[in-house]
Amino acid sequence: MGLFVGQNIITLQQVPSTNEYLKDKLSNSTPLAEGTVIMAVHQFAGRGQKGTSWHSEPGKNLTFSLLLTPTFLNPKHQFSLTVAISLAIAQWLESLLHTAIKVKWPNDIYIGDKKIGGILIENILKGKVWKSAVVGIGINVNQVDFPETFQEHSIAIKQILHKDSNIGELLPDLCKYIEREYFELKNGGFEGQLAMYKQYLYRLGEVHPFLIDGVSVAGVLCGVTAAGRLMIDFNGHVVDFDIKEVAFSVKPN
Ligand code: BTN
């Protein structure tokens, strides 16, 4: 079967946010094939998880949104798409950079303690049916200067390869990895994907401080549930949390 993810790439020179652009098109009923990619050269008001913003210097990074229609999944299983996309990006980066890639739960992509990419999946449901997913992906490629608050915690492909990369050449390769994991999910491969996702988890098996109700508590990250809840072991007692209930804390109590 031919590649469908990224077969249709629409490149915009300037756009506030590719996710917003794609969602607008969908709400205006613009016919767009599954697998269509909206890619921005300059995304000037990019959005991140939890209402944050995503900064990117013009022309330097991968900033795009992909349209998927995972109608085969129950909307209760939204985390499975997060797993498939995170895995695809992690595996693609590993093959490109030959260095260890981690997924900071739920879907930040890390090298060491620095973030190289992020994912913002926005789902469009119709009643109880999953109509479409806008999969927004940002990967730092050639940008090495970041806004002050991010500088210390950010990394780019350029810092590993020590040279600039061609954004347009990277995208089709990443699309192949996404397509492979998406088909795997479609073919009932979620259990295996979840097991692999766990292998990529940042801080897995390590004692780490977590912020719970504003208090920093040390625990061992020991996995994620199929619904996407983070499992933390506190002295042999495992508790699971959703994204609003826990955060990685940098400072121990
Ligand atoms: C995060 O780490 O918080 C998620 C970042 C997602 C950024 C991408 S860039 C392309 C797409 N359009 C957006 O406005 N955001 C996503």
Distance (angstroms) between ligand 1 centre and the Cα of 106 equals 14
Going by alpha carbons, the residue nearest to atom 2 of ligand 1 is 118
Going by alpha carbons, the residue nearest to atom 15 of ligand 1 is 47
Q: What is the pLDDT of residues 102-135, one digit of tens each?
A: 999 999 999 999 999 999 999 999 888 899 999 9
54 lines ligand 1 (CB under 6 A): yes
**The token pair that represents 55 in the structure block:** 């900064």
Are 137 and 84 in contact by the 8 Å Cβ rule? The answer is: no
Question: Which pLDDT does position 253 carry in this prediction?
Answer: 33
Task: Using 50 as the pLDDT threshold, list the residues of the chain that sit under it.
Answer: 251-253
106 lines ligand 1 (CB under 6 A): no
Atom number, ligand 1, closest to the C-alpha of residue 17: 14
Are 178 and 88 in contact by the 8 Å Cβ rule? The answer is: yes
Mutating to test ligand 1, I would choose from 17, 21, 54, 89 the residue with most ligand atoms within 8 A of its C-beta, which is: 54
Question: Which pLDDT does position 2 carry in this prediction?
Answer: 57
Distance (angstroms) between ligand 1 centre and the Cα of 136 equals 5
53 lines ligand 1 (CB under 6 A): no
Rounded-to-integer distance, Cα 220 and Cα 231, Å: 8
Distance (angstroms) between ligand 1 centre and the Cα of 238 equals 32
Q: What is the pLDDT of residues 89-106, one digit of tens each?
A: 999 999 999 999 999 999
Residue type, 66: L
Question: Which pLDDT does position 149 carry in this prediction?
Answer: 87
Atom number, ligand 1, closest to the C-alpha of residue 40: 10
**The token pair that represents 164 in the structure block:** 């600039």
Instruction: Residue count of the chain, please give it.
Output: 253
138 lines ligand 1 (CB under 6 A): yes
Distance (angstroms) between ligand 1 centre and the Cα of 69 equals 19
Distance (angstroms) between ligand 1 centre and the Cα of 234 equals 33
Question: Which pLDDT does position 251 carry in this prediction?
Answer: 47
Find the helix or strand (DSSP H, E) in which 53 lies.
strand 53-54
Q: List the one residue out of 3, 16, 68, 11 whose CA is nearest residue 38.
A: 11
135 lines ligand 1 (CB under 6 A): no
